[in-house]
A and B are shown apart, each in its own frame.
Chain A
Amino acid sequence: MTARSLIGLLALLFSPALLANTGVAFVHGTGSQTDAANDYWTGDMISSVTAGLDDPGRYVVVNCDFDQYMWDADAAGCLAGQLHDFITQHGINDLVVITHSNGGNVMRWILSNPTWDGRYPAIIDATRWVNALAPSSLGTPLANAVMEGNVFESSLGWLLGYKTDAVRMQQTHWMSHYNDNWLLGTDGRPALPRGFWSVVGSNVRVAVWSGNSYCGGYHYNVGLAITQSWLESCADGFLECSSQSGAGSVWFQDTWAMDNGYVLSHNQSRRPCFGLDRILRNDL
């Protein structure tokens, strides 16, 4: 045994990582959730992924109001509260965070602004990495389209073109500002303190005769065919590939890893479609 091997073995033996207590958190995207386990992820997705844990009960499904700006107490504050409770109550020191869509931005806010909230440092410290499913890191032109030409009248409020602060924030020129000035991990910016691994959906298949159109719900995919019109050719119906891969590192694009090389629409990337759940399970 060489000295280098011996040092490596000793380091492994004495590494606190051997005592890793792994847990997984599911963080939803835009919207205000009260039962994200059923309404957003589905029980099949969660049970399939958490089967990869030594203790399949060590997971948390976050329910927060991600209609707010990412820094809001009801968004990042709520997420921090639920993650902090989870890691402290279960002694988690090896947290894998699975985010979808705008949930990636809220998590990136926590990783980028460690003094914002007294709970953030413990969360960052416990996090192994973030698996960001279709993250809206650079925003989406669909949010631009919705917000253009908005009409606001002081006595009546928003009459046209307004959905939520989260939609507003995900306009491409707004996310450009936040990426350049407030968030870490995009091109030309300092790296995030933990890995942020994106899974990129590259297209939408909608055909009544095609089985892969039905995974995750056919009705969810029908409208995505026309939303692709607002997007570059490589897009999951809601986000362009450039946005999904705009922060951290690309883990894989759908066609590289999904069963039969299938694509993941934006709604399928939060469902047990084409082996996605199996890959996430094996990652634990």
Chain B
Amino acid sequence: MIFEAGPAGPVRHLGEPNSRIHEGVFMSFRLILLMMVLALALPVMADEARLMPVGDGDFAVSGNLSQVRDDVRPAAGVQGEPASVFMPARGESVSTALSAPENDSRSYSLTVTARELSAGVSLPLSASGAVLRIVPEAGGGARLLQVDDVMIRQGAWDLQGRAAARDLARGEELSQAAPVFGADTLAMRLSDRVGAGEAVLQVREAALLRGGRYQLHVFEPESPVRARLSAERPIAALGQEFAAGGQLMGAAGLAVERVQGDLISPDGRRIPVDWEAADGEDFGTRLALPRTGANSRGLWELEARLEGAGPQGPVRRDVRVAFEMVAPTARLNGAAAVAPSAEGWTVRVAVDVASPGRYEVRATLPDVGTAHAASWLEPGRQELVLQFPGSLPRQAVLEDLRLVDQSRVALLHVQQEGLAIGNQRDRDILPEARAGL
């Protein structure tokens, strides 16, 4: 299926004509122009080709492929059928290099018992205006707290109930406004009287008679102090080494004293990580990822929980980065073949498959468009065929070459410069490519 290009203009005014008539004319002219340009390109003979080497900023599964026993099956009539789609380019070409995940945080959380809340829990603050959220743990006796149950002490101030809050919302009014919050949540923005330094949160014992645990979440929107965490890449394969590092930043005299944290699977499993604090503000880790258990229907997270010191007292921050961990269920074999076809030209891409599933290959011819091909593939040497319109160009590089395991929502191969066609093919040949098609 070949889509026509749609309008690319970024400006749309209120009240302007919206009929598809205008769009239809524009599409037709663009498509005709595209076909004319492609027709002028000199055709070349069918030819075998090799993928270019995987470079910096690319990702490809390496090593042995794995047979995943996850009983993936195609949905009847939907995912079982082969699909071939060409999408014309819209807008400017962009870089498709993978970017390292990075995240900043001005918040932290604590899980405390009812007994601890009754005695008073220390909350390190680095600025005024902190937002405190108190959530009871499910199934353990803890319950929604009322603002009148809460007391905040800091220095000479002893603020009870509403006096402790600049704004507050609880229960239903919070969950109705923003359904991400449960109806058991008490949220309060602390009074401006509560500023940087250690504050103590205490809850009336009478409100805690049933015990249980509570989550305290502290967000400091007005604080300059933040934790930043970066991971080396957004995708990793099972068993690979993985590195991440970060910094406590935003004020002079900050020092990381203790770092804890876990690798968290999509289903919530936590695997402890050895974090190291170094050079005052910096911290980092290098770990071996698990060899089994990738469930790519969701991201893995690397979490660092920092305790440190700042110019106005203790500092706490929690920060996470998310990345995709994939099982090497298939890989691009390295072989490919380009050839003219009745509708234009094709690129046959070889795929070595270890686990059955629906796989997609896609590649982009810059300024022309992206071809997609997907099909259900059984284990063994397979191929997917990309269909481009127009004549086979004399020279070109197919960019943003991807192999996607659609059954497991996993990116197995992402390559900025994927396949050289014509003379450019001689520039680089993937050395480890095995037998051709």
Q: Is the CB of A180 within 8 A of B234?
A: yes
- Also in contact, A18 and B21, with CB within 8 A (given A118-B83, A193-B6): yes
Q: Is the CB of A12 within 8 A of B21?
A: yes
- Asked if B154 is at the interface (CB within 8 A of a chain A CB), the reply is no
CA distance A156 to B217 in the complex (A): 22
- Describe B's contact surface by its main secondary structure: mixed
The one of B111, B180, B364 that contacts A151, using a Cβ cutoff of 8 Å: B111
Q: Is the CB of A145 within 8 A of B179?
A: no
The one of A16, A188, A195 that contacts B24, using a Cβ cutoff of 8 Å: A16
> From residue B173, how far is it (CB to closest CB) to chain A in Å?
4
Q: Is the CB of B178 within 8 A of A237?
A: yes
- Describe A's contact surface by its main secondary structure: mixed
CA distance A266 to B177 in the complex (A): 8
Residue interface bits B1-42, CB-to-A below 8 A is 1, else 0: 101001110111011001111111100110000000000000
Number of interface residues of B (CB under 8 A): 100
Q: Among the interface residues B24, B129, B372, which one has the most CB atoms of the partner chain A within 10 A? A: B24
- Asked if B62 is at the interface (CB within 8 A of a chain A CB), the reply is no
- Asked if A58 is at the interface (CB within 8 A of a chain B CB), the reply is no
Chain A residues whose C-beta falls within 8 Å of the C-beta of B187 in the assembled complex: 226-227
B370 nearest CB neighbor, chain A only = A190
Residue interface bits A75-105, CB-to-B below 8 A is 1, else 0: 0010000000000000000100000000000
> From residue B286, how far is it (CB to closest CB) to chain A in Å?
20
- Asked if B238 is at the interface (CB within 8 A of a chain A CB), the reply is no
Q: List residues of B (174-229) whose CB comes within 8 Å of A's CBs.
A: 174-182, 187-189, 213, 215, 217, 219, 221
Residue interface bits B284-304, CB-to-A below 8 A is 1, else 0: 000000000000011100000
Chain B residues whose C-beta falls within 8 Å of the C-beta of A18 in the assembled complex: 21
Q: Among the interface residues A18, A124, A148, A267, which one has the most CB atoms of the partner chain B within 10 A? A: A148
Q: List residues of A (259-284) whose CB comes within 8 Å of B's CBs.
A: 266-267, 279, 282-284
- Also in contact, A148 and B298, with CB within 8 A (given A128-B23, A142-B181, A226-B187): no
Stretch binding the partner chain, chosen from B47-55, B91-99, B271-279, B346-354: B91-99
Q: Is the CB of A181 within 8 A of B324?
A: yes
Q: List residues of B (72-99) whose CB comes within 8 Å of A's CBs.
A: 75, 77-79, 81, 83-85, 87, 89-91, 94-96, 98-99
Residue interface bits B143-169, CB-to-A below 8 A is 1, else 0: 000000000000000000000000111
Sample 29 A-B pairs with CB under 8 A, ordered by A number. Answer: A11-B29, A15-B21, A115-B362, A115-B373, A116-B374, A117-B79, A118-B78, A121-B85, A125-B1, A128-B18, A128-B20, A142-B178, A144-B107, A145-B217, A146-B181, A149-B108, A149-B111, A151-B137, A152-B268, A159-B138, A177-B101, A177-B323, A181-B98, A191-B89, A193-B87, A227-B177, A229-B131, A229-B221, A251-B14
Which B residues lie at the A interface, using CB under 8 A? 1, 3, 6-8, 10-12, 14-15, 18-25, 28-29, 75, 77-79, 81, 83-85, 87, 89-91, 94-96, 98-99, 101, 103, 107-111, 129, 131, 133, 135, 137-140, 167-169, 173-182, 187-189, 213, 215, 217, 219, 221, 234-235, 267-270, 297-299, 318, 320-324, 360, 362, 364, 370, 372-374, 400, 406, 409, 411, 414
